[in-house]
Chains A and B, each alone.
Chain A
Amino acid sequence: MTALETAAARPHRSASLQLGLVLVGLHVVVALLTLVWTPYDPGAMTGGRLEPPSLAHWVGTDRLGRDFLTQIMIGSRIALIVGSAAVAIGAAIGITLGMLAAFATRLPDDALAATLDILIAFPTLLIAMLVVAASDTASLGTAILALGIALSPIVARLTRILAKRVLLLDFITAARTSGTSWPGIVFRHVLPNIWPTLAVNLALQFGVAIIAEASLSYLGLGAPPPNASWGRLLQEAQGTVYTAPIGAIAPGLALVSLVIGVNLLADGLRDVGDPTRRRGA
């Protein structure tokens, strides 16, 4: 959060940071709003089949006559939950593995590095597909877990690279010689130093998780109904894309706006967090 505060205090906030804040903020507000109010009950069949947008249903209705706007709004909440939970799981596993790899002696490090390289070589989606297949029943929790596990090698690899760089620095050597314990080094010196970089990357992975959820849904392996995840809305709308294109466009725009928002926010934080960043020639 410190980076955010610094950013806010800065008179010349970057445009990308501002836009990112607005987009993400909008989704957070909508997500919070759905906890207390939505235009309609999400399951209520209040309209006709695939009604076009109207005053009563601003984004129209789906095949069962349910309000699209309500579902897209709830989708914001689900996307934020999926994104943050998946990133949290990915970070927990990834940082632990990465730290272990950074601290390990040479041979296990090689082995671990090789393993990470294999795991990272499999795209998020593929690992997630396998995890979903390995679970007996599909649920939102399975999808989140799958995405979290799938993100972890990326986080682990980056943690390892960053931590190794910090470990080579003089003050660590000083801490080591002065007898600081390993956990002490990790929590007092390594993590605080790599955290800003790591946080920006985790923010990017948030977007990756949301897109991967949509792709999983497209492949029929995502969050099952009645979870109105954008991915599932997109998948359901695919068959009606010519008769009711709004059903496919609206959740798509919502998804793209949140992912862009998060990415811009990450870019902005990076630029703010790194005053030495040179832009262009």
Chain B
Amino acid sequence: MTRSLRRRTLLAAALLATATFVPAAVAQDFDPDATVRIGSLYEPQNLDNTAGAGQGINEAFNGNVYEALFQLTDAGTVEPRLVDSFERSDDGLTYTFKLKPGVTFHSGDPLTAADVKYSIERVTAEASKSSRKKSLSTIASIETPDDATVVVTLSARSISLPYNLSYVWIVNDAAADITAAEDGTGPYALAEWRRGSALALSRYDDYWGEAASNAEVVFQYFTDASALNNALLTNAVDIITSVQSPDSLAQFAGNPAFTVTEGASTTKELLAYNDRVAPFDNVKVRKALARAVDKARLLNSIWGEYGTLIGSFVPPTDPWYVDLTGVDPYDPESAKALLAEAGYPDGFEFTLDTPDYDPHPIVAQFLQAEFAKVGVKVNINIITANEWYTKIYQQHDFQATLQEHVNHRDIVFYGNPDFYWGYNNPDVVKLIADAEAAGTEEEQVAKLTEANRIIAEDAASNWLYLYPQIVVSTANVTGYPINGLNSQFFAYDIKKAR
């Protein structure tokens, strides 16, 4: 156990130092006309990221089919993409973006400022189902003085505007419905989509930048992890984007035909309480439940030797990370004492809404056993992803739930009292708002680090562990992203040996 923990720490440290590392064997002689087949569990529901398409569409399309003004790279930095240069006014409220010249959409239309305005407004529109809508709410107006210039005026300063714009696809304003078609500027165009099975992208020949190093990318979709592993084992796919269990890794690790890479993860498994309702509105109850769970053992049950323990919602790759695992360490005795102090000496009973897919049901059973030891009874209620979205995310009708949060830099959710978990600490709300309005990055980091410490002290949720981010490929492909931040999977640098 100690050995594996140390191994984890070392890995995390190494990853922090070098956010990316290139898989050992770099293909010298690659085939520029190769087809790269990527196996994934996340088939998009449709092709429009503002129409409830799911995380799969970001995986397939971000950076590949659609580009944004900025790009969140696999290393975690935000870099200009379709923006040639930009200026921020001294008060921080006006951004002037100059667009890259010579960019064309796959339909052949040139990129203009009107397309950018249209694209941002698509995300902020009332009917938009984009989960990122709220973070763009400070945009007051968008002007297009000429075809190459976009001026965005904000109602309040927003230091993460470039970051937030990195997920706003720039779509041709002439493209009406993009739920089954696309018109982006990326290095690939959509070739074919067979629902329930696969989505193919082919290299776009008039791409403004460096051409993709493969001719075609096919995302093959699976509904269960075993079928996905089998596909890689039998060479039906070249890469699997995220391995779901250590048991499937046993088949690939140590086999020279495959490359296993562990990247920096941002995916957190958490027990989210509805902090609005009793008894979870009581910080002592939340702290007691945080201490009642042997998280090291849970992580070992789910991930064997992989994964990392976290003490709050912030993964080691976020700049405001501090090690907070010591705030509420595993201690069932003090958990019982805290429950008694909170007025629950005999414990209580609650319903845990558990999504019906792995790992949530098994995590729920673990929690059930752990909480029983401190007198708290858990009723496991299995729900579908769709019910989770309606009942919990939209209607906040729950006591506690399990969920995995995949995003990078998402501590901001704790600054929104209307978020599904309903955590409402005015200090945190203010710190997070101030951080967004900060003049410098140092200031932003300081404020968010402070907020991070407070949510940990408040045990706002029960952060169980950080998933490992593991990509496995056959040994003859290289150049794929290993961190998969915000579910992105850039395919244009993937090289397949001849």
Contact = CB atoms under 8 A, between A and B. Distances in A.
Whether chain A touches chain B in the assembled complex (some CB pair under 8 Å): yes
Interface of A: 43-45, 49-50, 63-65, 137-138, 220, 224-226, 236, 238-244
A49 B365 CA distance: 14
Given A138-B381, A238-B224, A238-B226, 14 more contacts: A43-B365, A43-B369, A45-B369, A49-B301, A64-B366, A65-B301, A220-B357, A224-B356, A224-B361, A236-B362, A239-B225, A239-B247, A240-B247, A242-B251
Interface residues of B, number: 30
Contacts of A137: 381-383
Contacts of B248: 239, 242
Nearest to A63: B301
B365 A64 contact: yes
Nearest to B366: A64
27 contacts: A43-B365, A43-B369, A44-B369, A45-B301, A49-B301, A50-B247, A63-B362, A64-B366, A65-B301, A137-B382, A138-B356, A138-B383, A224-B381, A224-B382, A225-B361, A225-B380, A226-B380, A236-B361, A239-B244, A239-B245, A239-B248, A240-B245, A242-B248, A242-B250, A242-B251, A243-B247, A244-B247
B301 A64 contact: yes
Contacts of A244: 247
B264 interface: no
B140 to A, nearest CB: 43
Interface string B240-283: 00001101101100000000000000000000000000000000
A49 B304 contact: yes
Contacts of A50: 247
A225 B365 contact: yes
Contacts of A238: 224, 226
B302 interface: yes
B84 interface: no
Contacts of B364: 225
A82 to B, nearest CB: 17
Contacts of B356: 138, 220, 224
Nearest to A45: B369
B323 interface: no
Given A45-B369, A63-B362, A225 B245 contact: no
Contacts of A63: 301-302, 362
A156 B304 CA distance: 51
A137 B369 CA distance: 22
A239 B372 CA distance: 27
A240 B301 CA distance: 12
Given A43-B368, A243-B250, A138 B382 contact: yes
B358 interface: yes
| A-B interface, 6 closest residue pairs, ranked by CB to CB distance from nearest | A224-B382, A243-B247, A240-B247, A138-B382, A43-B369, A64-B301
Nearest to A136: B387
Interface string B346-359: 00000000101110
A239 B365 contact: no
B266 to A, nearest CB: 23
A226 B247 contact: no
Nearest to B372: A43
A226 B382 contact: no
B232 to A, nearest CB: 13
A133 to B, nearest CB: 9
A64 B382 contact: no
A65 B361 CA distance: 15
A50 B224 CA distance: 20
A95 B31 CA distance: 67
B173 to A, nearest CB: 40
A137 B381 CA distance: 7
Contacts of A43: 365, 368-369, 372
Interface string B212-251: 0000000000001110000000000000000011011011
B73 interface: no
A235 to B, nearest CB: 9
B407 interface: no
Interface in B377-401: 380-383
Nearest to A48: B300
Nearest to B381: A137
Contact of A239 (B304, B358, B380): B358
B2 to A, nearest CB: 15
A63 B246 CA distance: 11
B362 A64 contact: yes
A244 B248 CA distance: 11
Contact of A49 (B225, B250, B300, B383): B300
Contacts of A64: 301, 362, 365-366, 369
Nearest to B304: A49
A49 B297 CA distance: 9
B177 to A, nearest CB: 29
B226 A226 contact: no
